[in-house]
Structure 1
Amino acid sequence: MLLRKDLIQPRLYQEVIYARCKERNCLIVLPTGLGKTLIAMMIADYRLSKYGGKVLMLAPTKPLVLQHAESFRRLFNLPPEKVVALTGEMGPEERARAWARAKVIVATPQTVENDLLTGRINLEDVSLLVFDEAHRAVGNYAYVFIAKEYRRQARNPLVIGLTASPGSSEEKIMEVIRNLGIEHVEVRTEDSPDVRPYVHGIKFEWVKVELPPLYKEVRKLLRDMLQDALRPLAEAGLIDSPSPDLPKKEVLRAGQIIGEEIAKGNHDLGRLLLYHAMALKLHHAIELLETQGLSALRVYLKKLYEEAKAGRIKASRELFRDMRMKKAISLLVQARELGLDHPKIDKLKELLREQLDKKRASKVIVFTNYRETAKKLVEELSRMGLKARRFVGQASREGDRGMSQREQKAILDAFARGDFNVLVATSVGEEGLDVPEVDMVVFYEPVPSAIRSVQRRGRTGRHKPGRVVILMARGTRDEAYYWSSRQKERLMVETIKRVNEMLRRERQTSLEVFVKPSEKEERGEEAWKVEERRGRGIIVYVDSRELKSPVVKKLKELGLKIEVKTLDVADYVVSEDVGIERKSANDFLQSIIDGRLFDQVKRLKDAYPRPLLIVEGQLYGIRNVHPNAIRGALAAVTVDFGVPVLFSYSPEETAQFIFLIARREQEERKKDVRLRSEKKALTLAERQRLIVEGLPYVSATLARRLLRHFGSVERVFTASVAELMQVEGIGEKIAREIRKVITAPYREDEE
């Protein structure tokens, strides 16, 4: 036995769940803070003792991976080097060595997915695979591919899914169950008899604030504009009414219908795209005003104004021509002069002051949906003398650098030590934060998601009684979102119990009602397995930038050997003669707009005797590109360059095309697989253009203009913002981005 029983004392419900799940694939649904991870460790101990091999635990974020790895090191009698944490920050070869020596691996799913695709690792001797935050196992998320490969490769497979909230719909829960191959669900709530003795009370408070008159005036102006934008959509029958209270999902659905109709040739509906875009922008502006405040709204309207001024976005131009928008902006200026902002800020200060007066060492997490609000709150709380820090994700946004993994861990460690007592977090803090003794959680705004609501409030009441405060602006989206999440939460619990009861009644014989595929699906699965066997021995070179594409996973499932390279030309190479460029419909349209398409096609034609372009997805109606422009581009590719074009409906069909072509080339025609670059070396002018194209927002066309204007690469790189703006197609934003890339100091942690 590897688990240190001297350091743990499992609770009764943990022992029961362990006994029921140690030999069958289980989804464990347990409220946050009640020890899902310990149950997984107990099962890991059993599986390693009985079957040997390795345990793999997947977690969606790097901080979570590090936390789980540290827990295994602390609670398992294993040398430290036998427990490894694998993330993208570790090099591929180092990851392969770590995998080979380890008994327990904790990793991000994207890392494992990439290493499976490239063949650096296999799952043959993994005797337990744990999916933390298992509700993510939907769609094209990496969990889905890894689970499928695990069932195919492992000698002694067992899957355990862990989640506090698998979803509120039966369809979503069943998708998770199917994708992970779950045979049994173990569910507990705070009210379960065996859990209740261990649940510390959480006190819920719903605090409503009243919007000031100036807010209401701005809100009315924006709502009137929204109603006018929605009216043409309602008149066309795309939405039920032009009410400004229409849910955003209904507006989005109208946009999908417009796109579908245009794709069918009904181009008259194209005129509604403008109103649809305006409605979405106004909807977001009102949401910011109601839930976040004037500061957040000002930032957003400034962005729209810059779009309108640059002439890039027609919807933004139309909004700023409206006198009501001008009046709203005038009121925002007036509010800033008066020092007026959302009343939630003052209420938050009051709540924190009250909590800290009651207990000076209190730890508080404030959740908000928006980075800009998190930044504003930290500034406001710091002014009143509180020690507050912001916690955001790793992605960088315009003017707002994300936090590296190292920075995230340092902040969590400092919060746990008590170096500061208020953590203002965006959604990145909702899953798996291992921060003990959090006394209060504040929702700066309700969220219309059962999963996120459960995750947020699970940050308190884990080790002792806690307090959850939900701030709401009266008569706004706040109230609607709150009631939406409560309804979804109730539905989630009922649905899980219904699923569990049905599975229990079936006695887990085959999961026929929920998991067993239909006869048609079984035939499809068998056909896929036949194709996989036929695909063995076939090699396809894949460009490293294609790894995120579902196509590569499908090729792997078909049994092809994937060799990942950084290709100069083509995305897939299946023989010495055939190079294939794959473009999603969106990328194809974007490459027409920015001028990349014909350059890429020419290079493909020069490099391979039999080049091929595959366009994947519906081309018409998804972007504001005229159908004749699309047809003209396709005609030029096929006629002027002589490159055939295949159309694919999905990544699965694209993979089948590549598979069949590769098999013909390698098995029937006995062609070798060999990489080629362009037949002739790049000219000096081509090399110069290539260098300039590396600058942000600079297409092939812009690169030519820059070089013609300045005469050399050196002059382009030394030009000032004002000089760059003299070139057609370069506005102030692009010019500043170019100068930023050229002049900013290089830092390793900003890669």
Structure 2
Amino acid sequence: MYLRKDLIQPRLYQEVIYAKCKDKNSLVVLPTGLGKTLIAQMIADYRLSKYGGKVLMLAPTKPLALQHRESFLRLFNIPEEKVNTLTGEIPPEKRAEIWRRSIIITATPQTIENDLVVGRISLEDVVLLIFDEAHRAVGNYGYVYIAKEYMRESKHPLILGLTASPGSDETKIRAIVKNLFIEHIELRTENSPDVKPYVQGIKFEWLKVGLPEIYKDVRKLLREMLKDSLKPLAGAGLLDSYSPDIPKKEVLKVGQIINTEMAKGNYEVGKLMLYQAKALKLHHAIELLETQGLSALRGYLKKLYEEARKGRTKSTKEIIQDPRMKKAITLLVQAKELGLDHPKLDKLKEIIKEQLDKKPSSKIIVFTNYRDTAKKIVEELLKEHIQAMRFVGQASRENDKGLTQKKQKQILDLFSRGEFNVLVATSVGEEGLDVPEVDLVIFYEPVPSAIRSIQRKGRTGRHKPGKVIILMAKGTRDEAYYWSSRHKEKQMISLLKKVEDMVKKEKQSSLLGFVKSKEKKKSETTIKEVEEKIEVSKEEVYEKLPIKPIFIRKPKGIVVYVDSRELKSQVPKMLKELGVHLEIKTLDIGDYIVSEDVAIERKAANDFIQSIIDGRLFDQARRLKEGYLKPIIIIEGELYGIRNIHPNAIRGALAALTVDWDIPILFAKDPSEVANYIYLIAKREQEERKKEIAVRSEKKALTLADRQRLIVEGLPYVSAVLARRLLRHFGSVERVFTAKESELTQVEGIGEKIAREIRKVITAPYEEKK
């Protein structure tokens, strides 16, 4: 037993879930703050006691992974050096050593994924794999690949997925179940009979704030402009309506349709791209005004004005020059002079002051969708002498530096200790972070997502009753977003029950299949019996079968050098699944090197188009040609219809690559097809043509003098300095090579021994050792 039972008191529902999940791949859906991690630890204790080996717990971020390690250290009787966290900040060689000596590992998926792809670690001895925030196990997220490799490698596999909210989309829930090989689902809601006694009540309150007249005037002008931009799109049948309330995703879809049509040669429809671009910008402007405020809108319009001034895009220029926009900007200037911003900001300050008056030590989290808004809120709270800090992601943007994971952890520690009262967070604060005893959570705007809404609410009511306040602007998309998330939460529960029933039925049918397979076993083993009893070759046995099997030899010894930056794509993982041995390096030329002659550059369609725009494409082509005899470019994805660029520009670039640069281009629909191309090319080069692999570095063009020096440097004991002396003395490479020993010794630094060795290399017959 590893778990310190004296420190825990599992609740009845935790015991029940543990008992049902300890021997089959399970997804546990349990509201935030009700002890999913403890259930995982109970199962970890059981699996380690039964099989030994390792436990691996994955979490989306480093702070979460570190949090889980601290939890295991606190509750498990395992030496500290055997409980470790692996992240990308630890050097690869050190990670391999830490993995080898550890019993419990918490990690980020990107780190484990990369280490698996390059063969640095093996999941063979992992007896339990825990996926925290399991709703992420879709698409190309690292969880999907790791689960697949785990089920293939582990001697005693068991998967446990943990989430408070897998989403409200049936296709996504089914994908999670499939990707994590789930056999059983344990679902609890706050209203489940065994959970209800432990749920700390969360009081919900949604506060509607009215927009001042100046807001309404600006909004009316922007909506009129949006309507005018949507009319031509609706008139062409690309939209069902030109109502300014049309969802943004519908407008985005129009752009894809226009680009696709232009690629087919229907250039007439290209004229509508201007209206689609204007509609998108105006849609965003209205959203900022309604949900964030006048200062957020002013910032966005200032950015558009700069774009228009530089003449970058016609759509921006037309928006800024529209008389209605000029009127709207005048109103915004007036509002600033009057000190007006979004009324939600005043209401927010009022709510926080009221809470702090009641309880000065209160911990409050404010969630907002936008970094700029988070910055504005913190500034306003500090003016009121309310201690507040912003909590955002790692990515840095223009004039806005992100927070490192170390800084994020420091902020959370300060908040937990009560060093400041208000944490103003973007979406990065929604998942899993354990901030105890938050008294109040405020949504600055509702979110139209069941997952994000549940995650935000889960920051309070974890250890004692909490409160959630949702701010909404009357008559705006705030209200629509709120009701959308409420509907999706209810939908999620019913869908989960449906999928749970589906999993049970599938398991029953697979058991029936197992029974039938036992009955068939006798007839199925007849070929094996023939092989054992009659001394004939397999080929003769198979020749007698009505349908002859096709044997595919498993790939052996195929090696591909991969640029380390390609690990972000799915291709290296798929190459590994094809049996390729990967060597990861930072390559100067190409993304994949398969032989001394062939280097392959993989370009996602979007990157290919961007490289045309920024001029990188032909520079890369030049380097490929200089480095390798037979370079290849593989373009992944659909080229036409994804960017606002004329199809002829794309065709012109393709023609130049094939005709001017003599570089063949292959097209692949997805990473799987790219991987198969690379595998087949590598197989031809290495197995059929017996080519070696040569990784070449990018070098500056050599002068004639450089080349002459390099040739002379190839002689024994001749350094760069001696090569220069020899060339200066004799005047040419030919004279160096024809000089007698006595002539060579006249050069400073060359004695009889070196002269003798030089003449020996030049004059000795060439013989290959067999």
Query: TM-score under structure 2 normalisation?
Result: 0.85
Pairing 1:617–2:637 present: yes
Shift of 1:191: 0.4
**Cα distance per residue 1:621-656 (max 9 Å; x no partner):** 322222222222212211111111111111111111
Shift of 1:434: 0.3
**SS across alignment from 2:93:** helix
Shift of 1:535: 2.9
Do the aligned residues in 1 keep the contact of 2:259 with 2:644 (CA within 8 Å)?
Answer: no
Separation in 1, partners of 2:392, 2:341: 23
- After superposition, residues 599-610 of structure 1 pair within 5 angstroms as 599-610=619-630
Pairing 1:543–2:563 present: yes
**Cα distance per residue 1:468-517 (max 9 Å; x no partner):** 0000000001000000001111100111112223333555553999xxxx
Pairing 1:280–2:280 present: yes
Letter in 1 for 2:480: A
Do the aligned residues in 1 keep the contact of 2:150 with 2:157 (CA within 8 Å)?
Answer: yes
Do the aligned residues in 2 keep the contact of 1:233 with 1:239 (CA within 8 Å)?
Answer: yes
**SS across alignment from 2:395:** coil
**Cα distance per residue 1:220-273 (max 9 Å; x no partner):** 011111111111111111111010001112112222222332233322222222
Separation in 2, partners of 1:637, 1:345: 55
**Cα distance per residue 1:91-129 (max 9 Å; x no partner):** 111111111111111111111111111211111111111
- After superposition, residues 113-124 of structure 1 pair within 5 angstroms as 113-124=113-124
**Cα distance per residue 1:580-616 (max 9 Å; x no partner):** 1111111111111222111211211111111111112
Instruction: Label 1:630 to 1:389 Cα distance change in 2 as closer, same or farther (>3 A).
Output: same
Separation in 2, partners of 1:63, 1:263: 46
Of 647, 657, 663, which residue of structure 2 is paired with 1:643? 663
Separation in 1, partners of 2:616, 2:703: 18
**Cα distance per residue 1:656-681 (max 9 Å; x no partner):** 10011111111111112221235764
Separation in 2, partners of 1:36, 1:180: 17
Separation in 2, partners of 1:509, 1:47: 28
- After superposition, residues 11-90 of structure 1 pair within 5 angstroms as 11-90=11-90
Partner of 2:265: 265
Do the aligned residues in 2 keep the contact of 1:574 with 1:661 (CA within 8 Å)?
Answer: yes
- After superposition, residues 660-671 of structure 1 pair within 5 angstroms as 660-671=680-691
Q: Which moved more, 1:267-276 or 1:10-19?
A: 267-276
Separation in 1, partners of 2:552, 2:64: 35
Letter in 2 for 1:76: F
Partner of 1:91: 91
Partner of 1:213: 213
Pairing 1:242–2:262 present: no
Separation in 2, partners of 1:54, 1:641: 52
Do the aligned residues in 2 keep the contact of 1:378 with 1:389 (CA within 8 Å)?
Answer: yes
- After superposition, residues 487-498 of structure 1 pair within 5 angstroms as 487-498=487-498
Pairing 1:437–2:457 present: no
Separation in 2, partners of 1:469, 1:175: 33
Separation in 2, partners of 1:682, 1:211: 69
Separation in 1, partners of 2:255, 2:346: 38
Q: CA RMSD in A?
A: 1.7
**SS across alignment from 2:6:** coil
Letter in 2 for 1:304: L
Partner of 1:359: 359
Instruction: Label 1:263 to 1:49 Cα distance change in 2 as closer, same or farther (>3 A).
Output: farther
Instruction: Label 1:450 to 1:382 Cα distance change in 2 as closer, same or farther (>3 A).
Output: same
Separation in 1, partners of 2:103, 2:310: 57
Of 608, 614, 632, which residue of structure 1 is paired with 2:652? 632
Letter in 1 for 2:79: P
- After superposition, residues 401-480 of structure 1 pair within 5 angstroms as 401-480=401-480
Separation in 1, partners of 2:335, 2:344: 16
Partner of 2:712: none
Query: TM-score under structure 1 normalisation?
Result: 0.87
Instruction: Label 1:159 to 1:354 Cα distance change in 2 as closer, same or farther (>3 A).
Output: same
Partner of 1:316: 316
Partner of 1:527: none
**Cα distance per residue 1:546-591 (max 9 Å; x no partner):** 1111111111111111111111111101111111111111111111
Do the aligned residues in 2 keep the contact of 1:183 with 1:508 (CA within 8 Å)?
Answer: no
Do the aligned residues in 2 keep the contact of 1:388 with 1:421 (CA within 8 Å)?
Answer: yes
**SS across alignment from 2:510:** coil
Shift of 1:314: 2.5
**SS across alignment from 1:453:** helix
Letter in 1 for 2:501: E
Separation in 2, partners of 1:320, 1:16: 63
Instruction: Label 1:532 to 1:49 Cα distance change in 2 as closer, same or farther (>3 A).
Output: farther
**SS across alignment from 1:534:** coil
Do the aligned residues in 2 keep the contact of 1:416 with 1:435 (CA within 8 Å)?
Answer: yes
Instruction: Label 1:216 to 1:366 Cα distance change in 2 as closer, same or farther (>3 A).
Output: same
Letter in 2 for 1:603: R
Partner of 2:394: 394
Separation in 2, partners of 1:543, 1:341: 49
Partner of 1:291: 291
Partner of 2:193: 193
Structure 2 gap segments, 5+ residues each:
514-549, 705-770
Q: Kindly, what percent of the aligned residue pairs are identical?
A: 72
Separation in 1, partners of 2:4, 2:551: 47
Instruction: Label 1:11 to 1:611 Cα distance change in 2 as closer, same or farther (>3 A).
Output: same
Q: Who wins on radius of gyration, i.e. which is larger?
A: 2
Shift of 1:311: 1.7
Letter in 2 for 1:207: L
**Cα distance per residue 1:12-66 (max 9 Å; x no partner):** 1111111111111001000000011111111111111111111111100111111
Structure 1 gap segments, 5+ residues each:
514-529, 685-751
Separation in 2, partners of 1:533, 1:340: 73
Letter in 2 for 1:87: T
Dislocated runs of 4+, deviation >3 Å = 504-513, 530-533, 677-684
Do the aligned residues in 2 keep the contact of 1:447 with 1:485 (CA within 8 Å)?
Answer: yes
Partner of 1:590: 610
**Cα distance per residue 1:416-453 (max 9 Å; x no partner):** 11111111111000001101111110000000000000
Do the aligned residues in 1 keep the contact of 2:391 with 2:429 (CA within 8 Å)?
Answer: yes
Instruction: Label 1:511 to 1:139 Cα distance change in 2 as closer, same or farther (>3 A).
Output: farther
Separation in 2, partners of 1:125, 1:84: 16
Do the aligned residues in 2 keep the contact of 1:364 with 1:441 (CA within 8 Å)?
Answer: yes
Separation in 2, partners of 1:458, 1:205: 15
Separation in 2, partners of 1:536, 1:20: 42
Partner of 1:173: 173
Partner of 2:726: none
Partner of 2:517: none
**SS across alignment from 2:7:** coil
The size of the alignment, in residue pairs, is 668
Separation in 2, partners of 1:97, 1:330: 64
Shift of 1:306: 1.4
**Cα distance per residue 1:115-157 (max 9 Å; x no partner):** 1112111111111111110101111111111111111111111
Do the aligned residues in 2 keep the contact of 1:183 with 1:511 (CA within 8 Å)?
Answer: no
Separation in 2, partners of 1:511, 1:648: 39
Do the aligned residues in 1 keep the contact of 2:438 with 2:466 (CA within 8 Å)?
Answer: yes
**SS across alignment from 1:6:** helix
**SS across alignment from 2:65:** helix
**SS across alignment from 2:378:** helix
Do the aligned residues in 2 keep the contact of 1:445 with 1:470 (CA within 8 Å)?
Answer: yes
Instruction: Label 1:41 to 1:289 Cα distance change in 2 as closer, same or farther (>3 A).
Output: same
Separation in 2, partners of 1:531, 1:639: 40
